[in-house]
Amino acid sequence: MNELNAPGAGGAAGAPRTTSQTTPQTNRLVLRRPDDWHLHLRDGAMLKSVVNYTARQFARAIVMPNLVPPVTTVAAGAAYRQRIFDAVDPAYNFTPLMTCYLTDTLDPAEVERGFEGGVFAACKLYPANATTNSSAGVTDIAHVYPVLETMQRIGMPLLVHGEVTDADIDVFDREAVFIERTLSKMIADLPGLKVVFEHITTADAVAFVESAGPNVAATITAHHLEISRNAMFEGGLRPHHYCLPVAKRERHRLEVRRAATSGSPKFFLGTDSAPHEVHAKESACGCAGIFSAPVALESYAKSFEEEGALDRLEGFAAEHGPRFYGLPLNEERIAIERRALDVPERLEAGGAEIVPFHAGKSLEWRYAGVIGA
Ligand code: DOR
Ligand code: ZN
């Protein structure tokens, strides 16, 4: 336990900052309790170390299935959900929403059974070898059409890691090429399928989602609102800013920011918080992933405030996602306060260490807990 994952009002109280402002400044915001629509919790000791950072802030989270081996059966999804419940501090009211990992050979009946039985909330499409633990992913979208047709029929969302994997495609172009080569056709072939284009990073993805029907939405991470690709090379190689899809040029970040803060119901919060031990990041072949869970709401609040859109944070964080998924909005309320949060350089994780997003920086907003809790 530390102040970023302890139950209660979110850490030691400091005096609110006073500023000599001439315009009124919001110093406290009360929001409907948010959800995280894209999260990596891992398993075992790592799960126990990271889950309470999320459970502290979020009521629900869509949990990614890229374990080793991946979650591809109803039994595996139910067992993983139980391990998550067992790892959550009882002080928190937190519900994990489980996902099924699509493979070339997955049986549509298993997916349907998982959805109808309340175990799986969605399926995740990883193009094979696109990212961490995706070697069992889909090698050709045609192989999963029977599953996608079933999902369309039953109203089950498909969550897409939207990048091609071809070695000859520049890593910065892989999202845009995926739209051209795969996503456009898939959505045309399955016009009723609910699709979440996950962790979008480009102006191309924003335009695609905005021009698609209401059954196509996107999640946006805290880090893609904050960093462009320059952050990976600032004075040297910065492995803790390496994730997939990789951060793009500044003009893309600005367009993703515009979408997130636009108020459009098509865009909602999904951190893609993805913990890796420090040695796995600071390595000759470092893993992709940014661990943003400990500072998730604080980071989103920073971006939204910079865009003059704090009034739109609640829709993005707590309303658009559940409406898209067809789930009830959370009734609890939380508060965030303008009070400096100094982010540690490292956090302890089951005997190892993880570097959180914004490590060593001071953030202006601080999560202040569930109201009345
Ligand atoms: O940066 C990422 N990390 N992107 C992903 O798609 C997977 C994730 C992970 O599991 O580490
Ligand atoms: Zn992810």
For the chain, the structural domain boundaries read 32-328
CA dihedral 236, 239, 240, 242 (to 10 degrees): 110
Low-confidence ranges of the chain (pLDDT < 70): 7-23, 373
Could you report the per-residue pLDDT of 100-124, keeping only the tens digit for each? 999 999 999 999 999 999 999 999 9
Closest Cα to residue 248, out of 230, 234, 271, 267?
230
**CA 2 remoteness from chain centre:** 22
The answer to whether residue 272 is catalytic is yes
- Contact between 93 and 333 under an 8 Å Cβ cutoff? The reply is no
pLDDT recorded at residue 7:
67
Q: Going by C-beta distance under 8 Å and a sequence separation of 6 or more, which residues neighbour residue 219? A: 37, 38, 196, 197, 198, 199, 200, 267, 268, 269, 270, 272, 321
Residue 274 in contact with ligand 1 by CB distance below 6 A: yes
Q: What is the rounded distance in angstroms from the CA atom of residue 316 to the CA atom of residue 219? A: 9
Distances in Å between the Cα of 225 and the Cα atoms of 174, 281, 283 are 19, 21, 26
- Contact between 126 and 101 under an 8 Å Cβ cutoff? The reply is yes
Q: Which ligand is nearest to the CA of 131?
A: 1
Give 170 Cα–ligand 1 centroid separation in angstroms. Answer: 18
Nearest CA to ligand 1 atom 2: 289
Just give the CATH number of 32-328: 3.20.20.140
Give 50 Cα–ligand 2 centroid separation in angstroms. Answer: 15
Helix or strand holding residue 354 (H, E): strand 352-354
232-235 CB contacts, 8 Å cutoff, 24+ apart: none
Residue 131 in contact with ligand 1 by CB distance below 6 A: yes
pLDDT recorded at residue 10:
43
Pocket test for ligand 1, best of 244, 278, 354, 357 (most atoms within 8 A of CB): 244
